[in-house]
Structure 1
Amino acid sequence: MNDEPLSPAGRLFVQPATHQIINCTLGLEQPLSLDAAKHVVSNSLMIQHPRFSSLLVTDNNGREYWRKTELNIDRHIILRPDPIGEAVSDEAAINDYVADLTVSSPLSYDKPLWEIHLLPAHKCVVLRIHHALGDGISLMSLMLTLTRKLDDPDQTPAIEPLVSSKRKRNENETLGEFIKVLKMICFSLIYVIEFIMRGVWVNDGKTVVRGGEGVEMWPRKLVTARFRVEDMKTVKNAVSDATINDVLFGVISLGLSKYLGKRSPDSLQEGLRITGVALVNLRPSPGLQDIKELMKKNAAGTGWGNKIGIILLPVYYHRNGSDPLQYLKRAKTMLDRKKLSLEAVLSHQIGHFVMKFFGAKVASMLNYRVVCNTSFTISNVVGPREDITIAGIPVTYMRTTSSALSHAITMHMLSYSGKADMQILVAKDLIPDPENLAKCFEDALLEMKEASLQI
């Protein structure tokens, strides 16, 4: 039997403690019919990928494999014709629907691990794809093969970075390569020791946004924070060599400080550390134009999969009144050090070592402890810049989130056509007012933009 073993990260994502499903929401100008959805999927490159027509099976030794099966599209496209709940708006109804999916609706293992939910009453499509099928960037590229460019219906949209991720090299820099290597070694050593300590006993101090063991099973609420990419670029240009990711993390830092200042202003110490977790893709993003080639390589076991590292991203509580751009500058300094280090690579290697010698359950528990001992998850995925359609219907927004974690806050930002929407998934018993949290992030960007325009 020609079974294909899961990658180490794929095995991690099917363990109960670290089980992850990606939920991507596409808003439409008009409802998508069941027949149109079947036609689009049946003729897409997505279902030609072997992972999307394979079952997840486990042998007698507990090892997981992909096994090719006959694909029945009718089992994967789910129509929900009636309005969802009693929400006052389509957005609230969709967010409530997805929030419930993140804690109570795993994908069935008796079919390939993906689904498409049609919500015609709310002009929306929700794609659910198990993280074991691939990393977020590759899955985004493959998912977009279901769509076409609005201004060129024969062309599939492409994904291009908002900005180059490479820093401009200063030709006059005086710091030698030896010093750079020394810094890389020092930062890598510090960060990998911290990663190990986080997996064993070190944790964030108690705050109103801190989750912990078992919180992944608590009821969830989902809200959306909206940003304009142009506003983020304005802020980025105010600080030399800053990137969109620097701006995003500056916004998170300022926004959390604003929210904590409202929730518990008298119980927080200035400079209190709040630690985030981010997954880093260690493979070059293939791009849509290379998906077919990557699928060919996958047959030899060298192409598709998850190759992911973890980095810890600390922010610090500061009372209101300081310069908003200071949050960006601090974020940039921290992220520059993280990029110089090998933290993501070494965390991946540690996970691979533990997986190989102690098994998937122990590796999963290590990652679970890291999440339990930190405070939030953050990710940023770049979507298409141009407007797109699905079955000829214009897509009005794209948003994504994942299965609930033991964090009280999980944030996923996805950019599309000049907009950047961040889905904020919270444990509502710990954060009963996520709308206020979203507004704190939105206000944080506007304050940073205003400060940028005054320079």
Structure 2
Amino acid sequence: MTNEEEPLSPMARVFQSPCIDYCAVTTIGFKTKIKPDVVLDALKHNVSKHPRFHSKLSDNGAKWIETEVNVEEHVVVPYIDPEEIGEDGEGFVDDYISRLTWSPLDRSRPLWDIHILNVKTSEAEAVGVIRTHHSLGDGTSMISLILACTHKTSDPTNKLSTSIPSLKRRQTASYNLRNERWFLFSTIGSTVRLIWNTIVDMLLLVATMLFLKDTETPLKGGPDVGSNPKRFYHRTVSLDDIKLIKNAMNMTINDVLVGITQASLSRYLNQQYDKKNEEDGSYPNNLPGGIRFRAGCTVNLRSEMGFKPLADMMAKDSKGRWGNYFSFITLPFSIGLQTDPLVYLKISKSIMARKKHSYHAALAYLIIKLGQKVLGAEVTARLFNRHVMNTTTCISNVVGPMEEISFRGHPIAYIAPSCYGHSQALLVHFLSYAGKMTISLAVDPTVIPDPHKLCDEMEESLKAMKAALLERGLL
């Protein structure tokens, strides 16, 4: 094989820097036991079709170099003693995946591996763990890869080209006003707000990289949080409930998810500030005033947002390219107890509407790209990491298959994506799949020892919002 070289994208350069080194962990629950020979056979036939999975990083981390792949070296099937595990399948899987965060991927070969755990949990008969370096691709890319390897459970001959809805970016709404003068004034006003919002966002971005830090809360990680082992937890909720709230409140799915996250983090922090009331179940407002709590939120930069067949994403001039083609915005969360759960939704809708009326995401990506050319990759990565360290968390939402899918006769129960290597104590990922929404948390257990309570608060916040709408006759 010829050692062809290809440069890394700007975000890929950031993710493989020594001060960051992000890895993605995708946990997949299966409804049947996993047959390792089936997995190996599929990999032997498909790895060669995907350049990233048969390429390694150059010594300076700037280019991909094609190489030979021994698939057996990338598939791990550990010996599992059923008696040792007993009834605690979840505990074994949680511990196993956490241990993966202790050991880096081997940079002398392609940066991925697959772990097959034939352990029964409450949601699955077996669990597969795909670990990839984040420089290989973002969440959109990884889901496209999963789709390329699976088929609809109800129709094994269907390769899922229509299993994910085709998404397009929202166009600027037409004013459709008869009064042209008013239309002109509205356009000028909107443009001025866009410029002003962008300037403010860029000043805050630079300030956060240099000195502006979030308030120290029980969810804020310390300086060593990036190198600490992480643990992963997930909770599955109804996607239909989220859509009901979305329609009733005239919002987007992302608006609802941000509202749920704000509500659950507020409730969790309130408990942490006064644990003595935990036993009797009463939680008065113990939150200090003026908490600065910000979350990075990933933004897909592809001009075509819908999922494309893997071959189309790999095409050089594709508008839905494979790789790390995303940026981020910074959301100022409103941390506080609200007697009306719908207030969290109204706040999130306002925050998201303000952020959509800004070029923050596009300019942040451009700054990273220019920074690597002017300051070098390592300095740019350190500045990026300072922004991550000075904020509290990050949230991401990826659209998954609408119908149940299977991998070569193995039906999939859930898909839970997450990451580690980040300089934050909490990451929140959302992924929709077959009528459900999976909420995945990556936590530093030295900072957040009870992540299951965060999952509980996420679920309870969703239920409270739905109940409030039902009570008011809005559903």
Tell me if TM exceeds 0.5: yes
Counterpart of 2:56, as a letter, is L
288-297 vs 227-236, which moves further: 288-297
Q: Is 1:56 paired with 2:75?
A: no
Identity rate, percent: 33
Map of 2:107 onto structure 1: 109
Structure-1 residue corresponding to 2:279: none
CA contact (8 A) 2:76 2:116 kept: yes
- The corresponding residue for 1:93 is 92
Equivalent residue, structure 2, for 1:148 = 151
**2:343 aligned residue:** 326
Stretches of structure 1 lacking an aligned partner (at least 5 in a row):
none
Contact 1:271 1:316 in 2 (8 A): no
Greater Cα shift, 117-126 or 84-93:
84-93
Partner of residue 441 from structure 2, selected from 414, 424, 436: 424
SS in 1 for 2:33: coil
Give the letter aligned to residue 187 of structure 1. N
Shift of 1:143: 2.3
8 Å CA contact retained: 2:12, 2:135: yes
| Kept after mapping to 2: 8 A contact 1:280/1:310 | yes
CA contact (8 A) 1:14 1:20 kept: yes
Any idea what the Cα deviations from partners look like across 1:130-180, whole Å, max 9, x if unmatched? 111122202210222111111110122245359876378364576622222
Alignment correspondent of 1:256:
265
- 1:404-419 maps to which residues of 2 (within 5 A)? 404-419=421-436
3-state DSSP of counterpart to 2:56: strand
Distance (whole Å) between structure 1 residues aligned to residue 109 and residue 190 of structure 2? 50
Cα deviation 1:283-304 (Å, max 9, x = unaligned): 2357554421332327x99954
Do 2:303 and 2:319's aligned partners in 1 also have CA atoms closer than 8 Å?
no
Asked if residue 138 in structure 1 is aligned to residue 141 in structure 2, the reply is yes
Whether 1:280 and 2:279 are equivalent positions in the alignment is: no
Return the alpha-carbon distance in structure 2 between the equivalents of residues 421 and 93 of structure 1. Answer: 20
Q: 1:157 aligns with which of 157, 160, 175?
A: 160
Indicate the larger mover: 258-267 or 72-81: 258-267
Tell me whether 391-400 or 46-55 shows the greater mean CA deviation: 46-55
Q: 2:173: which partner in 1?
A: 169
Tell me if the contact between 1:18 and 1:367 (Cα under 8 Å) persists in the aligned partners. no
Q: Deviations over 1:310-339 (max 9, x none)?
A: 211111121242x11111111011111111
Q: What amino acid does structure 2 have at the position aligned with 1:5?
A: P
Output the CA distance in 2 between the equivalents of 1:234 and 1:304. Answer: 32
Q: Distance in 1 between matches of 2:243 and 2:319?
A: 39
Of residues 202, 206, 214, the one that matches 2:216 is 206
Partners of 2:419 and 2:116 lie apart in 1 by: 18
- 1:353 partner letter: L
**2:378 equivalent to 1:378:** no
Matched with 2:201 is 191
Q: Identify the match of residue 221 of structure 1 among 202, 226, 231.
A: 231
The one-letter code of the counterpart of 1:257 is S
Q: Does 2:373 align with 1:359?
A: no
Alignment gaps of 5+ in structure 2: 121-125, 275-284
1:251 and 1:287 map into 2 onto residues whose CA distance is 25
How much has 1:10 moved relative to structure 2?
A: 1.1
| Equivalent-residue separation in structure 1 for 2:428 and 2:190 (angstroms) | 32
SS in 2 for 1:104: coil
Q: Distance in 2 between matches of 1:351 and 1:87?
A: 49
Give the C-alpha shift of residue 450 in structure 1: 0.7
- CA shift at 1:30, angstroms? 1.4
* Structure 2: distance between partners of 1:283 and 1:152: 30
Call closer, same or farther: CA 1:195–1:168 in 2, change over 3 Å.
Answer: closer
> SS at the partner of 1:238?
helix
Contact kept, 8 Å, 1:411 with 1:422, in 2: the verdict is yes
1:68 aligned to which of 66, 69, 81:
66
Equivalent position amino acid for 2:131 in 1: R
| Aligned residue number for residue 123 of structure 2 | none
Q: What displacement does 1:258 show? A: 0.6
- Gap change, CA 1:154 and 1:287, over 3 Å in 2: farther
What is the TM-score of this pair, normalised by structure 1?
0.92
User: 4+ residue stretches of structure 1 with deviation over 4 A?
Assistant: 83-88, 161-165, 170-175, 285-289, 300-303
1:49-74 Cα deviation digits (max 9, x unpaired): 1111111112xxx3521111112211
Indicate if the aligned counterparts of 2:327 and 2:361 stay in contact, CA closer than 8 A: yes
Three-state SS of the structure 1 residue aligned to 2:58 is strand
Q: Which amino acid aligns with 1:117?
A: H
Residue 252 of structure 2: aligned partner: 243
Separation in structure 2 between the aligned mates of residue 190 and residue 212 of structure 1, nearest angstrom: 27
TM-aligned CA distance change 1:267 to 1:447, over 3 Å: closer
- Residue of structure 2 in register with 1:297 after alignment: 316
Query: Deviations for 1:31-82, whole angstroms, at most 9, x for unmatched residues?
Result: 11111111222333x5401111111112xxx352111111221111111231
Aligned to 1:129, the other structure's residue is in SS state strand
Q: Is the 8 A contact 1:148 1:388 kept in 2?
A: yes
**CA RMSD between the two structures:** 2.4
Aligned in 2, Cα 1:161/1:369: closer, same or farther, shift over 3 Å?
farther
Structure 1 Cα separation of the partners of residues 457 and 86 of structure 2 = 23
